[in-house]
Amino acid sequence: MDRGMVGSTSRGRLQVDVRHHGTSAVLTPAGELDHHTAELLREPLEKSVEEGRVRLVVDCSKLEFCDSTGLNVLLGARLKAEAKGGGVHLAAMRPVVARVFEITGAEAVFTVHDTLATALEE
């Protein structure tokens, strides 16, 4: 299995690391996902789907904040991945981030895992 780091990008308050784990793309956003930083996550999510990695695992353990723009990025990635037979899995959400998904009802459309390890087991 390829578990190496394949990329990393940063803009101030957000850094996104991307690696491959089998047929999955594992994206780890660290910092604040909002209107100013959302493109940093959108680009690697879309690139992963274009490259055929349609099982997207987003490790949220380092995500400190997510606003509606960030949520929309993840919802858009979900639609693109599902159109190609995949999906978006969210792992290890901090309570402040999980609350956004709970309030909006978005948690119902994602597969949510308590830990990254459980997300990668499937």
Number of separate domains in the chain: 1
Split at pLDDT 50, 70, 90, the class of 2 is very low
DSSP for 22-74, please give it: TTEEEEEEEEEESTTTHHHHHHHHHHHHHTT--EEEEEGGGEEEE-HHHHHHH
What CATH number does residue 18 fall under? Answer: 3.30.750.24
Domain residue limits at 61: 5-121
Calpha distance 28→90 (Å, rounded) = 10
Q: Cβ distance 60 to 23 under 8 Å?
A: no
* Tens of pLDDT, residues 19-35: 999 889 999 999 999 99
* Tens of pLDDT, residues 64-115: 999 999 999 999 999 999 999 999 999 999 999 999 999 999 999 999 999 9
